[in-house]
Chain A
Amino acid sequence: MIKFKLNGKEVETSAPPTLRLIDLLRDEFDLIGTKEGCGDGECGACSVMVNNLVQNSCLIPIGAIECADILTIDGYSKTELFKILSDCYSEAGAVQCGFCIPGMVMASAALLSENPNPTEEEIREGISGNLCRCTGYNMIVDAISLAAKKGDGIW
């Protein structure tokens, strides 16, 4: 049995230890907000927080997450911080097809929690592991910059 915290709740699973975290989240816990893009750690669509650090859930064997605190987009979307990011992504027109957005939001959240007033370059570095094939990134960068200002003091 592997025990860990998932979106604030203590959970456990008997799934095999080399199963990827993304498969466990989507198949066993029905948390389908987290997407699989490349499955190789190159696109960031599967980003989740592990102990408050953004990581690729497609690269994590669940045997390694014993006792960890996992936060997915489904849990994060219930927070006040998410509402700010969501509003700013809308306002900046940063969402087109939407597939990259759950991962992009987790990367944005990780960046802002560590650096509440990032420069444009720091924002681009913060989302450098997340691919978006629609927007050309500029609107996403604008959205994060806007979120930094609107949420000033709470990141």
Chain B
Amino acid sequence: MQWETVIGLEIHAQLATQSKIFSGSATTFGAEPNTQASLIDLGMPGVLPVLNEEAVKMAVKFGLAIDAEIGRKSVFARKNYFYPDLPKGYQISQYELPIVGKGHLDITLEDGTVKRIGITRAHLEEDAGKSLHEDFHGMSGIDLNRAGTPLLEIVSEPDIRSAKEAVAYVKAIHALVRYLGICDGNMNEGSLRCDCNVSVRPKGQAEFGTRAEIKNVNSFRFIEKAINHEVQRQIELIEDGGKVIQETRLYDPNKDQTRSMRGKEEANDYRYFPDPDLLPVVIEQDFLDTVRATLPELPQQKRERFQAEFGLSAYDASVLSASREMADYFEKVAGICGDAKLAANWVMVELASLLNKSDLEIEQSPVSAEQLGGMILRIKDNTISGKIAKMVFEAMANGEGTADQIIEAKGLKQVTDSGAIESMLNEVLAANAEQVEQYRASDEAKRGKMFGFFVGQAMKASKGKANPQQVNELLKKKLEG
């Protein structure tokens, strides 16, 4: 049987506010346990929450960026359950009236096609603390530093059809929140976390299969692996005559498998109700306009501009706008060298492979945009050839300085003096007199191939420094002369 995978994602993005969503405590990651927990974060008797306006602004920014309806009146609700890292016994979240309503985000798939993923809603809520199970001799410790950190929970429609699409969607969200400056996107520190709702159905069937929710998957790679594994598990289960049950599962990256956390019957009844300690959030047109004015150029707009302004292909434009850092890097290189296509090539091929090899992000690149742009300039003004440029690039990656310094130090400057090239060619032709004769005796078709042999010999003799175009021209003249 042919199976179709259906995926919906819930992404929790920690908002990059200075202080928590309902208290004045700082949100810095990695502080000593419980040093960033105030009376409010501890859920002391008698304390009350006060909403951080910055978190509202960031949520609205996101909403505008995905072309969503912004809830003019949104309501905070209490989600009630007991857990030691949840100090009040309820999480302040949003339920019936979220701040961000229906919107969408376009993702570019590997084959270059664009797919629109619906976003059901995005709502504000507070993060919980952390339970620490080590070093407490059979007891658990609780760190409430994270409790009250603002989260934006972004819920997608079940529009995603494969693990690869899921990753593309998470990457697009990741890029977007970083473009907007509302989340640092640091998945290792849990700043962006993902719950995956996965089901399968026979191809062509209209209704959805029963879904399982994989909780808290925190890297692009794990999202792909966890979903693929879960899809496989569900298909095998059904094909063996079993039934998928609605449950929460946990992905174990060490064993590459998902396992059951709790079933539907053990699921909490969260008893949501509007939080009486907080007033509804009313968003006025003025506020929307102010926030809209602070929106930066977004990935999609950037992609379109790269195509129109620089004549890049859709694929190149989408790769280069995938992150704000990547786009900024590219634009800087293009600006310095004045040749966007060449810049795009270098960034997407040589630089990408360098970063990939050393597992670095573009903002950690050992070759700066200034360096790369400067090097491409030297290709353009014929100081070096493309081939030599690769050597220069490698040297820059090794920290040997700017292109100019390297060209100077290594004597890589291209030879463009036609007298010097000519005398070098004379030597080459003299050393290969037999081949010259053969060439001259051959017809047009054969000559083409043989010509390459002379070019190779000439470049070898000049150690690659002779200007290839000049070599070509002079060689032709001499051979046909």
Same complex:
no
Task: List chain B positions with a Cβ less than 8 A from chain A.
Answer: none
